[in-house]
Amino acid sequence: MTVDSCPAVGQTPCARYLALVHEGRNEWWRYLLGVALILFCWLALGYLPYLWMIADGTITPFDFYLAVNFSILMMLAGLAFAMRFLHRRPVMTLVNRERRLDWRRIGQAAAVWSAIGLAAAAVEHSLYPDRYYLTFDAGQFVLFAAVAIVLTPLQTTTEELVFRGYAMQALSLRMHQPLAVAALSALVFTLPHLLNPEMRHGALLLAASYYTIGFLLAAITLRDGRLELAIGLHAANNLMLALVANYEDSALPGESIFMARELDPVYSFISLAIGAVVFYWVFFGRRLPAS
């Protein structure tokens, strides 16, 4: 994958997207306070319900799902506060110049990544037929799906606003090569995921998988000059895990229809890398147009 050249002044989508940072105030101390505020809202205030649940001694997978999503919503609150009062610019300038969501572009990305994910799961099942087993429970699935369809896109959109929007636009103030901006933002995205429980299955390959998806999300944002592709891809990815095909001890527990007995880090990395190339080609090789 490549990212268009992105000079400080220019008309490329990448340049237009990163230039949005100049609509606000960008002194270094504002970013220091902004990052501290986002982390405090996310990790301190956001995890209070989870700590209360642990103290009670009763926590179900559904409770855990709600607690994780609450922490991400608190991250969003921290970001919104930082953008409004520290940087003095609208949160929607992290999305695009028009300051409105292109729902068609989000839907395109979600549909393409869902197709790639389903194909990868089908191939894995054909190669390892004993790996997946049916876990569908209609009563639990309907309630969980109703909640997940609302909360999961909010969770993933928040992560995109923070890791692709806020982080990449901030990095562009010091780094003028888009490849470097994408690479470093992918590293920032990878670091908190290293604490996920699945890392015990193969830390190096799973870290590479998180870095790959982080770099893909950064690359498509810069190439498209807007955040909607990353928003759609990320939402589809997490909804697929929560509702369709997950694996035991996942960091994103849910009421999926199928469950894998184990996470295969080799297959996960290879299928993700191939899927990233296919997704990038669909949108920028054959150029699937925006609305």
pLDDT in tens, 133-142: 999 989 889 9
Cα dihedral 236, 276, 97, 110, rounded to 10, equals: -20
For the cut 80, the answer to whether the pLDDT of residue 55 exceeds it is: no
Mean pLDDT confidence for 115-141: 93
For the cut 70, the answer to whether the pLDDT of residue 1 exceeds it is: no
Range of the domain at 269: 102-285
Q: Is residue 44 part of a domain?
A: no
Q: Is residue 57 part of a domain?
A: no
Q: Is residue 279 part of a domain?
A: yes
pLDDT in tens, 72-109: 999 999 999 999 999 999 999 999 999 999 999 999 99
Side-chain half-sphere CA neighbours of 79 within 13 A: 24
Confidence tier at 51 by pLDDT (50, 70, 90)? confident
Q: Is residue 244 part of a domain?
A: yes
Q: Is residue 67 part of a domain?
A: no
For the cut 70, the answer to whether the pLDDT of residue 291 exceeds it is: no
Q: Is residue 124 part of a domain?
A: yes
d(CA 201, CA 262): 9
Total number of domains in the chain: 1
Q: What is the pLDDT of residue 2?
A: 44
Q: What is the pLDDT of residue 288?
A: 56
Q: Is residue 243 part of a domain?
A: yes
pLDDT in tens, 210-269: 999 999 999 999 999 999 999 999 999 999 999 999 888 777 778 899 998 888 999 999
Overall size of the chain counted in residues: 291
Q: Is residue 201 part of a domain?
A: yes
Which of 231, 248, 259 has its CA nearest to residue 121? 259
pLDDT in tens, 2-49: 444 454 445 799 999 999 999 999 999 999 999 999 999 999 999 998
